[in-house]
């Protein structure tokens, strides 16, 4: 019984201490005036922002539960990892091949129902997508890839 009591004291102490650890998700300062996908390529379905931008852009809005660790650590690390893979706020600054590949991968991930992640949609009902919404978004990403390619060709 005494060991159990000490275990709980240590557990509570650890939970209090872990609240002081906050991974930094602040994006590096970059001129993004002409880099954001949604402001540059028109016609995006509204769901692109609600289903993708919290993790895959510099416009992250943290939910209330991200203020409580260890959940907050998971959320922040997830966002950092997502941005490493794809950042819509900077995608138009990617090299042409990478940009086209990433936009086409977005369409593929949507059609295969890999994105948005289930762990995200559980807590964000506005990110849940119907089949029609998935197809509209996938089609827009393919259109965006073609538009980005044309934009890059004109700038050369």
CB 63 within 8 A of CB 121: no
Please give the Cα distance from 125 to 120 (Å, whole number).
9
State phi, psi for 128 to the nearest 5 degrees. -70, 135
CB 62 within 8 A of CB 75: yes
Residue 85 has a pLDDT of 94
Per-residue pLDDT in tens (0 to 9) along the chain, 156 residues: 788 888 877 878 777 777 776 666 665 554 444 556 777 777 788 888 889 988 999 888 888 888 888 888 888 889 999 999 999 888 888 999 999 999 999 999 999 999 999 988 998 898 999 999 999 999 999 999 998 888 888 876
Distances (CA, A) of 26 to 11, 23, 92, 107: 30, 9, 20, 27
Please give the Cα distance from 155 to 59 (Å, whole number).
27
pTM here is 0.76
Domain boundaries, the chain: 2-155
Residue 22 has a pLDDT of 67
Residue 147 has a pLDDT of 87
CA 71 to chain centre: 17
Q: Which of 36, 23, 156 is nearest to 90 (CA)?
A: 36
């Amino acid at each position: 019984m005494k060991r159990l009591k000490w275990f709980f004291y240590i557990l509570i102490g650890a939970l209090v201490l872990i609240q002081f650890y906050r991974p930094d998700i602040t994006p590096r300062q970059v001129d993004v005036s002409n880099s954001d996908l949604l402001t540059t390529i028109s016609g995006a379905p509204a769901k692109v922002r609600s289903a993708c931008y919290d993790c895959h852009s510099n416009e992250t809005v943290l939910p209330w539960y991200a203020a409580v660790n260890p959940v907050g650590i998971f959320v922040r690390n997830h966002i950092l990892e997502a941005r490493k893979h794809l950042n819509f706020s900077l995608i138009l600054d990617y090299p042409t091949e990478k940009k086209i590949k990433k936009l086409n991968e977005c369409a593929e991930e949507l059609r295969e129902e890999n994105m948005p992640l289930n762990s995200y949609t559980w807590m964000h009902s506005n990110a849940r997508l119907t089949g029609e919404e998935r197809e509209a978004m996938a089609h827009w990403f393919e259109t965006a890839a073609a538009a980005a390619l044309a934009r890059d060709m004109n700038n050369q």
